[in-house]
Each structure stands twice: as C-alpha cells, then as structure tokens.
C-alpha cells in the first residue's frame, strides 16, 4: 500500500479546538482525481489545510506524498509543499511582483539557486498553462482566469505528485472555469493526482471523477451512477 499518494485512517480533523471531521478514512492512489464537496463550514478547508501542513493532525493516522502528518515538524513543511502543488480560490499571487518574479520567488524559497535553471523551469510551466507571453505582467494586469493559470503554473514548479485545489474556480465566471478545468484535466492526464474542493456541481457533472463529501462531521465517498 506504499504507493498511496494520500492515506488517512481514523483521522480527526480539527479547526483550532473544534472537531470538524471525525474518523476520516481516505486513500488516493497515484493518478487518481477526487472531488471534495460539502457545504461551507462542513470541514473541506480544514481537511485541505491539514493535508498541506497548516493544521496539525492530532488524532488518527495520515500520510501524504511520503510525509507522516502526525509527526510533521514545522521545519519539514516547506519540503512537504515542494511535493504537492496547491491552488487556491483567491490565487494568492504577490501583486507587487511580475508573473516571472512570483514564480522565481517560490523556486528560490524551495532551494533553487541556478539562474538559468530557474528561468528554464519558469518558461516551461508558463508555456504549459498558456501564459508564456505574459511573464512580465503584474497579477493585477491579468484577468481572473489568467491569474489562476499563473497559480496553477506555480503549483507545477516543483513537479508535485499531488495537486490540492481548494475551490480553484470559485472566483471565476463559468466559461473561464471550464478553461481552468480543462487545464487541470490535462495536467491530471499527465499522471498527477488531484484532490479538488469545489461547490460547482456543473463542473462535477461535466468532468466526471470520483467524489467524496463532508457532511455531518464525516467524510464519505459518493456512489457514481
């Protein structure tokens, strides 16, 4: 079972001191895509934050891309985040820097030093998401869809095994949402595992993948028709 990208067993998910999800069992294998659905406040974001080390796993067992979430130390979090790509609803780009500098900042923070290698890597991920010609622009000069493409490029920088996408289309119009989903789907077809929290049922219907739901303090897999 060591090839699971993500494995939670009887994991209790807390938001500060409140238990939001209890006895979570979840296994995602390499190359799988799961949607994570549930009402606001049902624990989706807390689960995501636990997976990328923002919240501590207090009870139960959890491993993600080879890291033990229960034993995760503060200093290991940057190494964990090198192996997972995180895409947020609000893009989280630095507005005072160009697209290139946003990406360069992440690479330098994760240990890249060689200027030529940094440049080549940034050009490659921007080309992958269709943003190569916009490298010199600041985020506020881009549309929402373009900003999310840059955020996806940022998530791909360290060639992660798993993409965690937290409401990646939440701030986008329907047409742009589909474009972003097509891009994520293409990345997924290249072998990446994806866990995507979403409220957008139209996308779930259009792009069919396995679905898990947070409800009443529990997480369960939905049966597909």
Q: Which domains does the chain have, with CATH numbers?
A: 4-220 (3.40.50.300)
pTM of the full predicted structure? 0.92
Determine the average pLDDT of the residues in 203-210: 92
- Contacts with 139 (C-beta within 8 Å, 6 or more apart), sequence order: 91, 93, 94, 95, 99, 102, 147, 150
Determine the average pLDDT of the residues in 167-189: 92
Which residues partner with 196 through β-bridges? 35, 165
Q: For residue 54, give both structure tokens.
A: 């923002």
Determine the average pLDDT of the residues in 166-175: 90
- Please indicate whether residue 163 or residue 17 has the higher confidence score (pLDDT): 163
**CB of 122 within 8 A of CB of 104?**
yes
> Does 90 score more than 90 pLDDT?
no
Least confident of 26-35, 45-54, 74-83, 121-130: 74-83
Dist. CA 167–CA 88, nearest whole Å: 7
**CB of 159 within 8 A of CB of 84?**
no
> Does 119 score more than 50 pLDDT?
yes
Q: Residue 191 class from Cβ within 10 Å (0-12 exposed, 13-18 middle, 19+ buried)?
A: exposed
């Amino acid at each position: 079972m060591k090839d699971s990208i993500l494995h939670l067993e009887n994991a209790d998910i807390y938001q500060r001191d409140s238990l939001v999800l209890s006895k979570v069992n979840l296994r995602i294998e390499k190359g799988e895509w799961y949607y994570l659905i549930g009402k606001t406040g049902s624990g989706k974001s807390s689960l995501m934050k636990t997976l990328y080390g923002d919240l501590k796993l207090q009870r139960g067992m959890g491993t993600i891309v080879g890291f033990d979430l229960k034993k995760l130390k503060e200093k290991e979090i940057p190494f964990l985040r090198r192996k997972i790509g995180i895409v947020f609803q609000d893009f989280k780009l630095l507005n005072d820097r160009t697209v290139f500098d946003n990406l360069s900042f992440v690479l330098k923070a994760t240990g890249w030093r060689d200027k030529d290698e940094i440049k080549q890597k940034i050009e490659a991920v921007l080309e992958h998401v269709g943003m190569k010609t916009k490298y010199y622009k600041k985020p506020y000069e881009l549309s929402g869809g373009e900003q999310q493409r840059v955020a996806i490029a940022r998530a791909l920088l360290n060639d992660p095994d798993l993409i965690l996408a937290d409401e990646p289309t939440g701030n986008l119009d329907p047409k742009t949402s589909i474009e972003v989903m097509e891009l994520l789907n293409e990345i997924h077809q290249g072998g990446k595992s994806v866990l995507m929290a979403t409220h957008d049922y139209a996308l779930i219907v259009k792009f069919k993948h396995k679905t898990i739901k947070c409800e009443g303090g529990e997480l369960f897999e939905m049966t597909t028709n």
